[in-house]
Amino acid sequence: MSVEGIIREFMATRVSNPVESDFAQQLREWIEAFDDVVVADGPEQGAELLTALKQRAREAGISQGSELTTPYVNTIPKHEEVPYPGDRKLERRIEALIRWNAMAMVHGQNKKDHGIGGHIATYSSLATLLEVGFNHFFHATYGDQPGDFVYFQGHASPGIYARAFLLGRLDEQRILNFRHELRDTPGLSSYPHPWLMPDFWRFPTVSMGIGPLNAVYQARFMRYLENRGLIEKTPRKIWAFVGDGETDEVDTLGALSLGRREKLDNLIFVVNCNLQRLDGPVRGNARIIDELEAVFLGAGWNVIKVIWGSDWDELFERDHTGLLLKRMEECVDGEYQAFKAKGGAYIRKEFFGKYPELLKLVEHMTDDEIFHLHRGGHDARKIYNAYKRAVEHKGGPTVILAKTVKGYGLGSTQARNASHQEKKVADDALVDFIRRYDLPIPEEDARAGKLYRPSAEAPEMVYMQARRQGLGGYMPRRDVPKIDLTAPKPDTFAEWTAGSKGRAVSTTMGFVSMLRALMKDPRIGKLVVPIVPDEGRTFGLESAIKQVGIYASEGQKYKPHDVDMLLSYREEKDGQILEEGITEAGSMASFTAAGTGYSNYLVPTIPFYMYYSMFGFQRVGDMMWAFADARGKGFLMAGTAGRTTMTGEGLQHQDGHSHLLMSVIPTCLSYDPAYVYELAVILQNGLKRMYEDGEDVFYYITMYNEDYAMPEMPKGVEEGIVRGIYKLKAGASGKAAAQLFGSGPILNEVLRAQQILAEKYGVETDVWSVTSYNELRREALGVERWNRLHPADAEKTPYIVSVLAKAKGPVIAATDYMKAVPDQLSPWLTSRLLSLGTDGFGRSDNREHLRRHFEVNAESVVAATLSKLARDGKFDTKKAQKAMSELGVDPERGDPAHI
C-alpha cells in the first residue's frame, strides 16, 4: 500500500485525533523514516527498530494491542536458511517409492476386499514432512535410552508401513495383510495401535486430539523423570504430527499453556495444514494458519510458519509492489484449496489475474509451472530449516505450521473435498502416478497396483538404511523390556490388614496411608507417581505433600503462607506428586505417560491417579481406552465414589455407574472394596501382576469417604478378594435361606440387613463381600466359552457358581452402582438374583436419605429379601407385604430410576 493509502486508512479509524493534519504529517515522516531503514539496512533492522520502540512504549506505560498474526509468509526468510544436508535426488526417489507402496497397499486391499478402507490423502500431504524427519531428525536412541518420540497422524499409517516395507522391516505378505489382521499370517492394524503391534507402534493417535494432548504431558513427564534423577538428561524431542482439522478438538489445543509454563523445549508440534478435514475445508472462509498462529503465539509457543516453497522465493524477490503478499492475504483457504484442485490456468486467472502486476510476474511461466509452485510443507529445504530451528529453540515448545495439499500428487483426487476417503484409484491414474514420479514399474504392474521394492543394493535403499543407522535405528519402534521389579510382599501390608481397632476411617484414608508407605519402600518408592487434579485435600493428601513434595520444575519461588504449619504446601524441583490442577484430561495424559514409562523410558513408574470418581470414564473415557491400547499399567483410584456414599453434592457428582463403564476396557480390572484390608490385598496383587509378572493390565478401584471401623482381615480370603467374592459372615445357624451380596460401603447396609432379617423376621442369611462383579463375569465368560467349544469334555464351573455351590436360596445383591453391575452375573445365577442399585439421577442429601431413596439401605435389602423369598414360596406373602411398612419402605412411591 502507498504511504498516503496507509495514512488515509489509519486516520479514518483513529480514536483520538487532537490536531488531525499535524498527526497525518507526523505519520508520514515516521513511515518514510521506517521505509528508509528497511530499504537501506534490511528487514531485520526494521524489526529491531520496532522492538526498540515497543520497549520504549512499555516503559512509558503505553499499552498497545499485541499482534498475534504475522504476514502470511514463511517465518524463516530465505537468506537465513541453511543448505539442505541430504541428497535430494535420492530422497525424492525414496519418497516416491513410499508414496507408491502406500497407495498400492490401500488401493490393492480395497480392490480385493471392497470397503475395507484405508487412507492415502493424509499421507500424501504429510510425506515430505515425515521424510525430512526420518532422514535427518528422528533419533531412535540416545545412548542406552529410547530416543525421540513421534506421535504420527493416525490416518497416515499406510505411509509408515510402506517405509517399513522398503526398509525390510515388514515383508510383502505383511503389507498384503493391511487391515487383514485375522488371517493365518500376521496383519497390519489400520492405525497406530500398540496393543495390536506391540513392537512397532508406541502411541495410539487415531482418535483425534488424544495424540497432541498426550504429547504435551509426555514432554512434561520426560522433564519430571529427569528432574527426579530417574533418567539422564538428553536432547530427546517429542514430535507430534497433528492434522489441521484435528485442532478443532478441544483436547488438541487445551493444554498448550502447559508447554510454555514448563518451558518444554523438548516438544515440537507439526501441524499438517492441508486446509482440509474429512468433509471439506477446515476454514473455507478464513485461513487456518493465521488462526493457529494466534492461538499458539498467545499460548507462548515459538511459531514457525512454513507456507511457501522455494520456488516462490524468486517471485517474492521480483515483486517490488508488495502485491504478491497482499494477494495472498486476500485469499481464504477455500480459494487456496480450489487453486490446487483446478490447475495452473485457473491459478493464473483467479490468483495472479487480479492485479496486472502479478500477471506480469508469472508471464514467463507455463500453466503447469504455476500449478507446481510448491507449498512449504512439500519443500524439503524449507522443512529442514524449520525443524532445525525447532530443535535448537530453547526455553519453550515450538509449533511448525506447514501448508500442504491434501492428496498431493494423486492427480485428479488432489485437493478435492472427497480426497480424504479416496481409497481406490483408477487404473490409468496408477499409470499416471508412476510416470509422474518416474518409477521403474512396468505399466502392467502399475495397473495391478503391485508393490515395488528395489534391491537392497540400489543407491536409494542403501541411503535410506544409512540415514536410519546414523540416527540410531528404525522408527517407529516400541520397546518391550522385561521389568525387573519385585512387588512388596503381602506382609508389607500387615498394618492395613490388621483392621483399624475400632477407629472409624474411610477406604480413602486407608489408601493414602498405604500410598505414603509405598513411597518409602526402598525398592519401589521412587517409582510411585501420585497424580491429582486439584483434589489432594479431598483425599487427605496433605501429609503426602509434605512427605514427598509437589513436582515444580522451578522449585518453590515463594514462601508459602502456611510455611510454619506442620503440613505446609511444599513444591520441589524433584517433588514426586503431579498436582495437575483442574484437568482430568491432563491428569489422564500424565497417567498415560507414567503408566507407559516402563516401555517408553525403560523406567517402570507406577502411577496412582486419584480423582473424583464421577469425573472419570464419562469425561475422559477415550483416553482411558487409548491408555489400554498403549499397554498402560497403573492404578486409577476413584475417590468420593458411590451414588449414595458421596453426600450433599448431588446429581453431577454422584457416581453410580463407573464400574459399568470401566468394564468395557478389556485390560482394566475394576474393584469396589469395602474394607481397607480388601484394598491392601488388591493393591499388592496389582503391583505383582503388573510389575513383577509383567501383565499389561491396569486397575480401577473405587474409594469412599464414609468412615467406619475397619475389621481385621479374616483368614483365607485373599483369593476371593482378588477373584471378586468371598463369604464374609455366615448366618448363625449355618442354614441360610438367602445369600446377601454387598460391595463398598453398602456392605455395611447388607450386614445390618442380615441382623434385622435374623432378629425381626427369623430369616437366616449369609453375607458375601463382592469386590468385583466385572472380574467374576469375565472369569465366568471365559469358562463358559471353553465349555461351549468343548462339548465332549467334562464341564468346567465358573468361580461364582462354585463358591455358591452349597449356598442356598436367592441372592440379593446391593450396590452403590446401577443394578446392571450385579446383573452381570445373571446368566450364572438364573432365577436366583435380585439386584438393588442406584439407577437414576443423584440428589443432594445425606447418606441415610439417599440410601432410602435409591432403595439400597438395610431396610430395603430386608424388604427385598422377604419379597423374593415370598415369591419363591419360602415366606408368607402377607407378612412380606406388611414388612414393607414396618421397614419404612413405601411400595407406592415413584421409581428412583425415573424421578
Ligand X SMILES: Cc1ncc(C[n+]2csc(CCOP(=O)(O)OP(=O)(O)O)c2C)c(N)n1
Distance CA 255, CA 344 (A): 41
642 binds Mg ion (CB under 5 A): no
- Residues with Cβ within 8 Å of residue 699, at least 6 apart in sequence: 634, 635, 636, 668, 669, 670, 671, 682, 686, 690
SS (H, E, C) 530-575: EEECCCCCCCCCHHHHHHHCEECCCCCCCCCCCCCCCCCCCEECCC
CB 192 within 8 A of CB 157: yes
Is 333 an interacting residue with respect to Mg ion (CB under 5 A)? Answer: no
Q: How far is the CB of 406 from ligand X (least distance, A)?
A: 5
For residue 208, state whether it binds ligand X (rule: CB under 6 A). yes
Q: C-beta of 413: minimal distance to ligand X in Å? A: 13
Contacts of 520 (CB under 8 A, 6+ apart): none
Task: Write down the H helix ranges in 143-279.
Answer: 157-166, 172-176, 210-227, 250-254, 256-261
Phi, psi (5° rounding) for residue 730? -80, 155
Which of the choices Mg ion, ligand X, none does residue 855 contact, using the CB cut-off of 5 to 8 A by kind? none
Exposure pattern of 206-221 as b/e (b: 16+ CB <10 Å)?
Answer: bbbbbbbbbbbbbbbb
Q: In angstroms, rounded to a whole number, what is the distance separating the alpha carbons of residues 737 and 741?
A: 14
Residue 839 binds which of ligand X, Mg ion, none (CB < 5-8 A, kind-dependent): none
Which residue in the set 131, 148, 226, 244 belongs to the binding site for Mg ion (CB under 5 A)? 244
- Residue closer to ligand X by CB (options 135, 274) is 274
For the record, the C-alpha cell of 530 comes out as: 501420585
For Mg ion, the closer of residues 192 and 245 by Cβ is: 245
Nearest to 130 by CA among 432, 402, 435: 402
Per CB under 6 A, contacts with ligand X among 504-563 are none
Quick one: which of 243, 259, 476, 731 contacts ligand X (CB under 6 A)? Answer: 243
- What is each CA distance from 780 to 457, 678, 773, in whole angstroms? 56, 22, 10
Q: What backbone torsions phi and psi does residue 505 show, to the nearest 5 degrees?
A: -135, 165
Contact call for residues 258 and 397 (beta carbons, < 8 A)? no
Q: Tell me the closest approach of the beta carbon of residue 785 to ligand X, in angstroms.
A: 32
C-alpha separations of 452 from 91, 104, 164, 171, 316 in Å: 16, 9, 13, 12, 40
From 193, 389, 420, 852, residue interacting with ligand X (rule: CB under 6 A) = 420
Q: How far is CA 146 from CA 150, 451, 602, in A?
A: 12, 32, 8
Give the shortest CB-851-to-ligand X separation in angstroms: 39
DSSP, collapsed to helix, strand or coil, labels residue 767 as strand
Task: Print the binding letters for residues 278-297 with ligand X: x by CB under 6 A, - otherwise.
Answer: x---x---------------
Task: Please work out the total of residues on this chain that contact ligand X, with binding judged by CB under 6 A.
Answer: 20
Nearer to ligand X, 109 or 771 (CB): 109
Task: In whole angstroms, give the CA distance from residue 739 to residue 861.
Answer: 11
Residue 896, SS3 per DSSP: coil
Q: Under the criterion CB under 6 A, does residue 206 sit at the interface with ligand X?
A: yes
Instruction: Please name the residue ranges forming H helices in 121-249.
Output: 121-136, 157-166, 172-176, 210-227
Strand partners for 739:
766, 811
Least distance (Å) from ligand X to the CB of residue 700?
23
- Partner from ligand X, Mg ion, none contacting 204, C-beta within 5 to 8 A by type: none
Residue with CB nearest ligand X? 243
Kindly tell me which of 239 and 408 has the beta carbon lying closer to Mg ion. 408
**Near Mg ion by CB under 5 A, which window of 20-28, 229-237, 276-284, 345-353?**
276-284
According to CB under 6 A, which one of 158, 245, 607, 842 is a site residue for ligand X?
Answer: 245
155 binds, among Mg ion, ligand X, none (CB under 5 to 8 A by kind): ligand X
Q: Which stretch binds ligand X (CB under 6 A): 271-279, 437-445, 464-472, 752-760?
A: 271-279
Contact stretch for ligand X (CB under 6 A) within 28-36, 214-222, 269-277, 527-535: 269-277
**Residue (203 or 608) nearer to ligand X, CB:** 203
Residue 531 and residue 587 in contact, taking contact as beta carbons nearer than 8 Å: yes
Nearer to ligand X, 122 or 857 (CB): 122
Closest CB 247 distance from Mg ion, rounded Å: 9
Q: Which position among 244, 290, 460, 580 is part of the footprint of ligand X (CB under 6 A)?
A: 244
Stretch that binds ligand X, among 18-26, 212-220, 244-252, 322-330 (CB under 6 A): 244-252
Q: Look at residue 742 and give the partner it binds from Mg ion, ligand X, none, a contact being a CB closer than 5 to 8 Å depending on partner kind.
A: none
Closest residue by Cα to residue 614 from 842, 846, 852: 842
Q: Does residue 207 belong to the site contacting ligand X (CB under 6 A)?
A: yes
> Could you tell me the smallest distance in angstroms from the CB atom of residue 282 to ligand X?
6
Pick what 208 binds: ligand X, Mg ion, none; C-beta below 5 to 8 Å, kind-dependent.
ligand X
> Which one, 278 or 807, has the nearer CB to ligand X?
278
Site for Mg ion (CB under 5 A): how many residues?
5
Q: Which of 272, 337, 774, 824 binds ligand X (CB under 6 A)?
A: 272
> What's the per-residue H, E or C state across 408-470?
CCCHHHCCCCCHHHCCCCCHHHHHHHHHHCCCCCCHHHHHCCCCCCCCCCCHHHHHHHHHHHH
Q: Which residue has the cell 468420593?
A: 640
Task: Note whether 209 binds Mg ion by CB under 5 A.
Answer: no
Binds Mg ion (CB under 5 A): choice among 118, 133, 194, 245? 245
Among positions 136, 287, 403, 406, the unique one binding ligand X when judged by CB under 6 A: 406
Name 551's bridge partners: 572
Cell of 60: 512509558
Interface with ligand X, residue 99, by CB under 6 A:
no
User: How near is the Cβ of 420 to Mg ion at its closest, in Å?
Assistant: 8
172-191 residues near ligand X, rule: CB under 6 A: none
**What is the closest distance, in whole angstroms, from the C-beta atom of residue 118 to ligand X in the complex?**
12
Burial of 586 (0-12, 13-18, 19+ CB in 10 A): buried
Q: Considering only the stretches 242-250, 602-610, 790-798, 827-835, report the one whose residues sit in contact with Mg ion under the rule CB under 5 A.
A: 242-250
Q: Dihedrals φ, ψ of 581, to 5°?
A: 75, -170
Residues that bind ligand X (CB under 6 A): 122, 125, 153, 155, 206-209, 243-246, 272, 274, 276-278, 282, 406, 420
Residues that bind Mg ion (CB under 5 A): 243-245, 274, 276
